[in-house]
């Protein structure tokens, strides 16, 4: 069975995974875009999001590539899918990524409000899961067919899966940025008590990469 | 006038500057020693604490050296000086560092309980300051004679000086360690609102170094 992995999860030096007041204008919260500058600079990101052929190679780029290796399905919290809250007013919102999202596999979106599956160009199909994180994981594992399931976020979704002890590996990219407010990844979460340790540290060009793993799971 | 600087302040990946339950057996709190492995490995640390001639040179070592450059006085919270709480029962406790502490300049210890100054070998003199952080800074600046004042910690002391807008530069060493509990440096502290930004990022051999500075103060 594949792993449940969080990859390329950018965190500010003061521990925030997104800025405050997420909205259509600020999908990552106010100031949150700065968390991802390390990723935007890479060749892999530029190829995956928009098909560009520029960008840098190196350690940061390798982590973006690794994040997509062997991934057979994704899970996203609803706020990662869009700024709409409450019941879907219509089916106009189709994600932040345009007609051809970078996932290219089934994506399971956690929500309290049912909606039919949505097939996009390039192989991405968004499935809307209303019966909780365990059900989403079960469906994602089935869709992944032995490959890994990647948990995209946001912060609250990652925290829910960590608390339930379901995440096998968590790759953090610590960005040299202070946000001061927003969504704190670690607040009230005792990761060692949940079985996690920092297994690897790799300095990148623009971020410091840390791999957290559960003690009881092999690399 | 010199700066008020925090240097080589080790922080876990999950944001703790010390582990929980500090005591004589666990001066850095439970698990807290792991925060400082990057420092223990350096030639500078081994020379300063115990006079050894081993240890590694490189980026981490350079930061330890820089931490002592141009420092004319130190400020420490009382818990950095020792595990004694409340009124001093006697004058037996003389710090964690033996007869010859590594400071070699005046050190101002914040406490609510008066005690005469204590001169140690090598030039370190501990002064006990009972009238607050501003008074301690004023005395330290005077003693430093134009050189920098280094604020040694602990976490609560650093937070008090940050909140008061008095710290000019804060060097963090992010260690690849999870503590899960302990003293959180950033909790409830909005550093950008207090004027700080991350001005520099330097990957070291065992830690990731970040320099935070106030926007209104030059490097």
Residue A49: what pLDDT? 81
The DSSP bridge pattern shows strands A118-119 and A106-110 to be unpaired
pLDDT single digits (tens) B81-105: 998 899 999 999 999 999 999 999 9
Helices (H), chain A: 37-40, 43-48, 59-68, 78-81, 133-144, 155-163
Q: Is residue A219 pLDDT above 90, yes or no?
A: no
A50 pLDDT exceeds 80? Answer: no
**What is the reported pLDDT for A177?**
96
Q: Which of B178, B186, B187 sits opposite A196 (nearest CB)?
A: B178
How confident is the model over B145-192, as pLDDT tens digits? 999 999 999 999 999 999 999 999 999 999 999 999 999 999 999 999
Residue among A19, A177, A178 with most chain B CBs within 10 A, to mutate: A178
Q: What is the ipTM of this complex?
A: 0.90
d(CA B87, CA B12): 32
Q: Cα(B116)–Cα(B134) distance, rounded to whole angstroms?
A: 20
Give how far A82 is from chain B: nearest CA, Å. 27
Q: What is the enclosing helix (H) or strand (E) of B64?
A: helix B59-68
Q: What is the pLDDT of residue B213?
A: 96
Residue recorded with tokens 């350690």? A59
Using CB atoms, pick whichever of A181, A197, A208 lies closest to residue B174: A208
* Other beta carbons within 10 Å of A143: 18
Range of the domain at B183: 4-214
Q: B63 and B77 in contact (C-beta within 8 Å)?
A: no
Residue A201: inside a domain: yes
- Is B219 inside any structural domain? no
The rounded distance, in Å, linking the Cα atoms of B129 and B111 is 6
Is there a domain that residue B158 lies in? yes
Q: pLDDT tens digits for A55-98? A: 999 999 999 999 999 999 999 999 999 988 999 999 999 999 99
Percentage of residues of chain A with pLDDT beyond 90? 89
Whether A219 is covered by a domain: the verdict is no
Query: What is the structure's pLDDT at B68?
Result: 95
- CA–CA distance, A82 with A96 (Å, rounded to integer): 6
Are the beta carbons of A208 and B212 separated by less than 8 Å?
Answer: no
C-alpha B55 chain-centroid distance: 21
Residue B91 domain-assigned (yes or no): yes
- Asked if B198 and A177 come within 8 Å (Cβ–Cβ), the reply is yes
Mutate to test the interface with A, among B13, B59, B187, B197 (most CBs of A within 10 A): B13
The closest alpha carbon to A10, from A139, A156, A155, belongs to: A155
Q: How far is A176 from chain B (nearest CA, A)?
A: 6
pLDDT per residue over A94-113, tens digit each?
999 999 999 999 999 999 99
Nearest by CB to residue A14, choosing from B179, B181, B191, is B191
Distance from the Cα of B30 to chain A's closest Cα (Å) equals: 12
Helix axes B155-163, B133-144, angle to 10 degrees: 90
* Mean pLDDT over each residue of chain A, to the nearest integer: 94
User: What dihedral angle (degrees, nearest 10) is formed by the CA atoms of A113, A118, A123, A124?
Assistant: -30
State the pLDDT at residue A22: 86
CATH of the domain at B62: 3.40.430.10
- Using one digit for the tens of pLDDT, what is the confidence trace for B5-47? 999 999 999 999 999 988 888 889 999 999 999 999 999 999 9
The confidence band for B217, taking pLDDT boundaries of 50, 70 and 90, is low
Q: How confident is the model at residue B218 (pLDDT cuts 50, 70, 90)?
A: low
Q: How many domains does chain A have?
A: 1
> Between these two residues, B162 and B52, which has the higher pLDDT value?
B162
pLDDT per residue over A150-175, tens digit each? 999 999 999 999 999 999 999 999 99
- B31 belongs to a structural domain: yes
């Amino acid at each position: 069975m594949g792993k449940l992995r969080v990859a390329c999860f950018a965190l500010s030096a003061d521990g925030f995974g997104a800025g405050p007041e997420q909205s259509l204008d600020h999908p990552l919260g106010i100031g949150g875009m700065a968390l991802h500058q390390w990723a935007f600079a890479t060749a892999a990101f530029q190829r995956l999001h928009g098909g560009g052929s520029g960008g840098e190679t190196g350690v940061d780029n390798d982590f973006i590539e690794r994040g997509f290796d062997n991934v057979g399905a994704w899970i996203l919290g609803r706020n990662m899918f869009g700024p709409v809250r409450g019941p879907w007013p219509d089916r106009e919102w189709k994600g932040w990524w345009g007609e051809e999202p970078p996932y290219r596999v089934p994506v399971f979106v956690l929500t309290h409000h049912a909606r039919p599956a949505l097939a996009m160009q390039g192989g991405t199909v968004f499935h809307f899961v209303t019966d909780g994180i365990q059900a989403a994981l079960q469906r994602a594992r089935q869709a992944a067919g032995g490959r890994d399931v990647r948990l995209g976020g946001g912060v609250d979704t990652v925290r829910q899966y960590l608390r339930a002890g379901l995440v096998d590996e968590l790759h953090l990219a610590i960005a040299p940025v202070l946000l001061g407010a927003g969504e704190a990844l670690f607040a009230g979460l005792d990761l060692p008590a949940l079985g996690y340790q920092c297994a690897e540290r790799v300095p990148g060009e623009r971020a410091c990469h840390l791999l957290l793993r559960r003690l009881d799971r092999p690399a």
